[in-house]
Structure 1
């Protein structure tokens, strides 16, 4: 009888426990650490609703207890435990495993950490082209988990908007052919959305539009489950030129040309003061809210890398006022989110007078600015803290998805601390505006960690980073990572940042602005860091990635030295030295391709396979592949953006970059043997023909097979050691 009397109490106790358990974070843990998920308790705090975001950790009753004021904070607490106790890194890419210890470490006492800022932003329009265009839900699911674990509260969420626009433009009278032709191919859609580019590689297939709409519903639902506020787009004035046929009196103008594209790809802009503007805004926001809901934060960027119709400050103020007014009329709770990149990119036109007029035309606190490239230029310091409007300090860190080991670690830390101290009360948070995921995940985790008062100084953070990359404390690994953070990652990312391997070949320099091999260190320093990493024994996938990534940079940097020797031999007309350097250049490229083939993050084959998955018929698969190849090679229809999205990927090195360098070596050698000057212009034309052939899916590719990362890296380090050790 006593047992039966106890049952109601046990039921009530179980119910009380389940009410405390955070279902969203439990589901996250089940996805990333399924073997350990039941060893955690995830609790909501009852008394922290009005305070800063915070989390607590403790060991209790055989469980790891993580509590926080919301799901997002609890997820950050889980990640704090994974990183600092389990020495585990959760990758933002689904291809990487989450590697855990067999036994969960205990926590001594109770740990409590509070946020230094309530808002943490992530993503960039460009990321949706350079990294995400071919993602399926499994990719998004891991990435959203990564954002929650790193405390992101405001993710940019622009997937699927073409489905919304298709409905709006149809309602306004455009035909299906006009609408889908107006859209670009999938990988180029970010620049269509930013009013830079229309029609390129269109028409956009209907299956793509439908797929992305379904995907967006999953994306925003999961982000909201984890207490994020997705930033959805609003209408910023970009319209199809064909709309002029239906509305001949509308104030529609062609914007300035962009990216070297031919005139036929220019965008059209509807003046915000035209009555049609409010009608389109209302239709768009109502349809988008019906499909995807709203958190009342809208991204709108009317003049990104294009000229405004007028540079008169009064006109700019009127446009800003009307643009915000059109959003607020559709959603009275709206906040407008605006990139600050335009102020950095065009300082000639965006004078302080024009910036002030534009920003102050919007009601106070209804405009949120992203200070876009703070590791290089802080606009908040040039604009009296954005003239009082709220803003977020953002780290960009990567252009075009370039695979370059960069990120000015120490100065980023100093600038963030300076912003917290002197950025004013209208500094609302931190964020990142990366164009592509590239190779430097640790820098983004570092920036987002700065949003929390973790108690770790930068030196301790570096040591903990080294520990979790190997899975244990190791002095050689720590020393290597200190070198990377202190002596290698010393300059900010550049547009088109790459080793010379990825550049269009030439005898001196780097030919074009889209491939910049600048580094802030001497070669022997990088070589020693790689040697230190290779002296460690670790089974971790993160360690294998690191030895490939650092080795990729070592071989890429050394290629520049060999090219310069090749040029010196050309100048001296020394055919023996020329042949020797040519052989060595070919060898470095072949070895580089073999090394990066050892990790899936450096895979052209994966990029192409993901693109082809969107097609059902062979011709559809070829369409997506051509679009995917184009973006990472020639980019568009002129040399202007060629190689901007360069990547040192297995298969791309061997079939694209190495082929260009092979042609270059042959033509230079022929010129020397014939007693002639090398004709760079003739070579450029020949190479350009090859580049456009490669960008088409019809061009055959032979992709390398993956080898053992550590064994391959050590083999190559031993092979090149006599050369590398001799470098001054």
Structure 2
């Protein structure tokens, strides 16, 4: 029996190795997950090794089957996706709530189709994504998302889930109590900003059930990513420590970092000088424990000064810090490569002068520091720093802040800048990536960025046509023209922090009150309205089409609210009460209909977000804890008004229970002031509405959420209803 137990794993290993020579087992399993009824019609083969490390794929039809070849599993997955998108007109969403819709008969490929990668590495994710979009994911959601990344050719996913289990081990070994460690962590949705040294303790202590569950989840995540030839980017120690560590190591050089996000002093983080001997000890303990739990692929993310001040702005000292951070990694893992966000250079150009950037980058050995040029659709740091002073870098598209639901993305500019980077970016341009803060509503923009990595012979205009075809499931001239106009006239501006329609803003008579809710668009409102009208004439039963109907309609209704608010304000200034009441009634109707329309697709659901958060609880008390944390992030965010509504999103239920009540109270208070002949007191209203916002974030009573409706029928009804208004939009 003992011999049999030893023999079975060996036979399985030999079988797996043999299968991979003839048929890629990892991509076979991926296909079985996303297209189980058609999976047997595909064959996944490895291309012969020619000594060229360039990623590539081939497609052809043979003997009634679709043959997909690639130089590795990742390239084969890209080949599969190329076939699904361009032949089957099928979209595989990053969200598991969206179906994968396939034709009854697999289309034949004429000849051999080839694709070749133009860069080596493809990065995806951002620390913030793990808070704004992913904190309540289980394996079901992660499994679909990893499949999506493989299909898009992502080779370097950020993999920071579960690190609190590692830190718990490290800090307790260094002498802190378990209670101190768990209190040092924030609540789950705010962990990204704890990991980036921005806040400690907020909505802690972190439950042990969360820490243990996330460690188990991370083991599954990195195992699947490695199966699909991805290189997970795990974290490393960057200097953030519990303040209590000073008690145990009084000689250690620990300082408090600068204030962040309006949080009170009790939530400020502490930073250990990288030159301190304790730094090396912590780095070793962390990397060894992390490797024990999750393995290693030798690329480590470390970001010591993200949106906080460095202890000094002396270039020589900054260089010494970066050199020692790298050396502390290399002492544990001689193959270590440090991955660093370039966001800090964009966010604080006053302190990050060219002298300081040069000192920081050049103090790390060549090719051992990999930079992410974080927000290239807006500002390309590679052009300002002599291509990062020779260190390898990736051109990155950000595209979304806070999981905001706003049509955003400068399509043509992104295309031009990527082509320029490919031709002028230098030999140290290693790849392309996306550093989205949240998933939002603009998935095609990310597909476009990752598709441009591959030379397949498709022009940008042909790519748009194919996108239109797969959104509707068939070739349609109206849909193609519509998507061309969207890319040329609507998708013209990059995403902004706090991007939203005015519906989601803290109410005010003029402007948008705060920087966290910006209703900026780069198109005329009437343009999008007429595109929505055209979309509603297209015939399609695809879920992707229904999503577009809801998504564009959501934006149209949201855009119109700005006009109504401005008309309401003008009527108030004229002391015209009947006109105020008329505009107020329209404002109420738009908010109610916006809630009804977004209820027609699962992606726009507050209930889905809250139910997922509550699912992590083991009893009612813990369920409420997770729900409060989830509510807080998307409303008040923190402990002051500074970040309120930054993570706003137009979701069914969010509109009816949070945004609409705020506007209703605003209408009441402004109308009361007008009737009394006194000025509206915005400051008094702000205090009143802040109380409502905090109560909403902390509420535990079930919300009355709208029922799911028919997307097309609802949209057509609303288009008719609001046509007189929409036709007056500028």
TM superposition score category, shorter chain reference: over 0.9
**Contact 2:136 2:612 (8 Å CA) reproduced:** yes
Corresponding residue of 2:440: 438
Residues 16-43 of structure 1 deviation map (CA, whole Å, 9 limit, x = unaligned): 7773100000000000000000000000
Q: How does 1:536-547 map to 2 (within 5 A)?
A: 536-547=538-549
Unpaired runs of 5+ residues, structure 1, are 1-13
**Contact 2:409 2:493 (8 Å CA) reproduced:** yes
Corresponding residue of 1:687: 689
Task: Say if 1:17 and 1:270 are closer, same or farther in 2 by CA, change over 3 A.
Answer: closer
Residues 109-118 or 292-301, more deviating: 109-118
Task: Say if 1:63 and 1:275 are closer, same or farther in 2 by CA, change over 3 A.
Answer: same
- 1:553 aligned residue (552, 555, 566): 555
Unpaired runs of 5+ residues, structure 2, are 1-15
**Contact 1:603 1:649 (8 Å CA) reproduced:** yes
Corresponding residue of 2:464: 462
Corresponding residue of 1:389: 391
Matched, 1:32 2:34: yes
SS in 2 for 1:81: helix
- 1:330 aligned residue (323, 329, 332): 332
SS in 1 for 2:510: coil
**Contact 2:339 2:371 (8 Å CA) reproduced:** yes
- CA distance in 1 between counterparts of 2:165 and 2:535 reads 48
- 2:476 aligned residue (474, 478, 497): 474
Alpha-carbon shift at residue 269 of structure 1 (Å):
0.2
Corresponding residue of 1:55: 57
Corresponding residue of 2:508: 506
- 1:366 aligned residue (365, 368, 375): 368
- CA distance in 1 between counterparts of 2:81 and 2:644 reads 39
Task: Say if 1:275 and 1:15 are closer, same or farther in 2 by CA, change over 3 A.
Answer: closer
**Contact 2:168 2:181 (8 Å CA) reproduced:** yes
- CA distance in 2 between counterparts of 1:616 and 1:394 reads 39
**Contact 1:477 1:533 (8 Å CA) reproduced:** yes
Task: Say if 1:511 and 1:47 are closer, same or farther in 2 by CA, change over 3 A.
Answer: same
- CA distance in 2 between counterparts of 1:686 and 1:344 reads 36
- CA distance in 2 between counterparts of 1:38 and 1:625 reads 42
SS in 2 for 1:393: strand
**Contact 1:53 1:69 (8 Å CA) reproduced:** yes
Matched, 1:222 2:224: yes
Alpha-carbon shift at residue 51 of structure 1 (Å):
3.1
Corresponding residue of 1:429: 431
Alpha-carbon shift at residue 725 of structure 1 (Å):
1.5
Alpha-carbon shift at residue 15 of structure 1 (Å):
11
Corresponding residue of 1:74: 76
SS in 1 for 2:123: strand
SS in 2 for 1:298: strand
Corresponding residue of 2:346: 344
- CA distance in 2 between counterparts of 1:116 and 1:671 reads 63
SS in 1 for 2:482: helix
- 1:169 aligned residue (168, 171, 179): 171
- CA distance in 1 between counterparts of 2:621 and 2:156 reads 38
Alpha-carbon shift at residue 50 of structure 1 (Å):
2.7
Alpha-carbon shift at residue 188 of structure 1 (Å):
0.1
**Contact 1:94 1:138 (8 Å CA) reproduced:** yes
**Contact 2:21 2:46 (8 Å CA) reproduced:** no
- CA distance in 2 between counterparts of 1:272 and 1:403 reads 40
Residues 345-354 or 18-27, more deviating: 18-27
Residues 533-592 of structure 1 deviation map (CA, whole Å, 9 limit, x = unaligned): 100111100000000000000000000000000000000010000000000000000000
Alpha-carbon shift at residue 515 of structure 1 (Å):
0.3
Matched, 1:486 2:488: yes
Residues 152-179 of structure 1 deviation map (CA, whole Å, 9 limit, x = unaligned): 0000000000000000001000001000
Alpha-carbon shift at residue 483 of structure 1 (Å):
1.3
Matched, 1:302 2:304: yes
- CA distance in 1 between counterparts of 2:555 and 2:482 reads 14
- CA distance in 1 between counterparts of 2:484 and 2:567 reads 32
SS in 2 for 1:508: coil
**Contact 1:53 1:114 (8 Å CA) reproduced:** yes
Residues 672-718 of structure 1 deviation map (CA, whole Å, 9 limit, x = unaligned): 00000000000000000000000013254211110001110111011
Alpha-carbon shift at residue 350 of structure 1 (Å):
0.2
Matched, 1:613 2:615: yes
Q: How does 1:134-173 map to 2 (within 5 A)?
A: 134-173=136-175
Task: Say if 1:723 and 1:304 are closer, same or farther in 2 by CA, change over 3 A.
Answer: same
- CA distance in 1 between counterparts of 2:545 and 2:523 reads 23
Alpha-carbon shift at residue 727 of structure 1 (Å):
2.6
SS in 1 for 2:297: coil
**Contact 1:693 1:699 (8 Å CA) reproduced:** no
- CA distance in 2 between counterparts of 1:171 and 1:725 reads 67
Corresponding residue of 2:47: 45
Corresponding residue of 2:195: 193
SS in 1 for 2:680: coil
Alpha-carbon shift at residue 532 of structure 1 (Å):
1.1
- 1:95 aligned residue (94, 97, 101): 97
- 1:249 aligned residue (241, 248, 251): 251
**Contact 1:87 1:467 (8 Å CA) reproduced:** yes
Corresponding residue of 1:85: 87
- CA distance in 2 between counterparts of 1:46 and 1:423 reads 31
**Contact 1:479 1:532 (8 Å CA) reproduced:** no
Corresponding residue of 1:9: none
- CA distance in 2 between counterparts of 1:16 and 1:133 reads 38
**Contact 1:196 1:306 (8 Å CA) reproduced:** yes
- CA distance in 2 between counterparts of 1:677 and 1:61 reads 79
SS in 2 for 1:563: helix
SS in 2 for 1:58: strand
**Contact 2:232 2:297 (8 Å CA) reproduced:** yes
Alpha-carbon shift at residue 722 of structure 1 (Å):
1.5
- CA distance in 2 between counterparts of 1:569 and 1:455 reads 56
Corresponding residue of 1:452: 454
**Contact 2:239 2:274 (8 Å CA) reproduced:** yes
- CA distance in 2 between counterparts of 1:15 and 1:386 reads 41
Q: How does 1:270-281 map to 2 (within 5 A)?
A: 270-281=272-283
Alpha-carbon shift at residue 616 of structure 1 (Å):
1.2
Corresponding residue of 2:405: 403
Corresponding residue of 1:4: none
- CA distance in 2 between counterparts of 1:17 and 1:400 reads 43
Give the CA RMSD over aligned residues.
Answer: 1.1
Matched, 1:213 2:208: no
**Contact 1:552 1:596 (8 Å CA) reproduced:** yes
Residues 126-168 of structure 1 deviation map (CA, whole Å, 9 limit, x = unaligned): 0000000000000000000000000000000000000000000
- CA distance in 2 between counterparts of 1:444 and 1:48 reads 31
- CA distance in 1 between counterparts of 2:244 and 2:617 reads 28
- 1:268 aligned residue (267, 270, 279): 270
Residues 443-479 of structure 1 deviation map (CA, whole Å, 9 limit, x = unaligned): 0000000110021111111010000000000011111
SS in 1 for 2:262: coil
- CA distance in 1 between counterparts of 2:20 and 2:526 reads 57
**Contact 1:55 1:66 (8 Å CA) reproduced:** yes
Q: How does 1:539-618 map to 2 (within 5 A)?
A: 539-618=541-620
- CA distance in 2 between counterparts of 1:31 and 1:621 reads 31
Residues 22-76 of structure 1 deviation map (CA, whole Å, 9 limit, x = unaligned): 0000000000000000000000112245331000000011110000000000000
Number of residues of Structure 1 aligned to a counterpart in Structure 2: 716
- CA distance in 1 between counterparts of 2:114 and 2:380 reads 32
**Contact 2:19 2:25 (8 Å CA) reproduced:** no
- CA distance in 1 between counterparts of 2:335 and 2:279 reads 19
- 1:419 aligned residue (418, 421, 428): 421
- CA distance in 1 between counterparts of 2:68 and 2:292 reads 36
Corresponding residue of 2:11: none
- CA distance in 2 between counterparts of 1:230 and 1:367 reads 16
Corresponding residue of 2:113: 111
